[in-house]
Amino acid sequence: MSVPLCFITSENSLITAPEKITVTLKGRRTDLYTLDTTTLAAHINTKHLPSGTHGIIIKENHLFLPHTITLARYAPSNIMITVTKK
């Protein structure tokens, strides 16, 4: 499934990055069916990053998943983002 990337950033920063990543989730069938995928997103904190281009490795903790569901695969695993200060 495709999930959007959401960036936590300071007010004076602009982020240039891909809009979505593709993820494969693993868990019990009942847990996967009850997961509200419309609210699923990868949350990345960029407040600490200086201006420039940065590689970010997507990890399971970027998705706020229930403890019964895990991240099996994701693509791309390493995204490039550009931070520009206003």
Q: What is the mean pLDDT of each run of 10 residues along the chain (86 residues)?
A: 92 92 94 92 92 92 91 90 90
Domain boundaries, the chain: 2-85
The model scores a pTM over 0.95: no
CB burial of 58-78 (b: ≥16 within 10 Å; e: otherwise) equals beeebbebeeebebeebeeee
Q: What is the Cα–Cα distance from 67 to 3, expressed in whole angstroms?
A: 18
Q: Tell me, what's the pLDDT at 77? A: 83
Architecture of the domain delimited by 2-85: Beta Complex (2.170)
What stretches of 20-77 adopt beta strand conformation (E)?
A: 20-27, 42-45, 52-57, 69-75
Q: Tell me, what's the pLDDT at 60? A: 86
Q: What is the Cα–Cα distance from 18 to 40, expressed in whole angstroms?
A: 16
Is the preceding omega at residue 18 within 30 degrees of 0, hence cis?
no
Q: What is the Cα–Cα distance from 18 to 76, expressed in whole angstroms?
A: 10
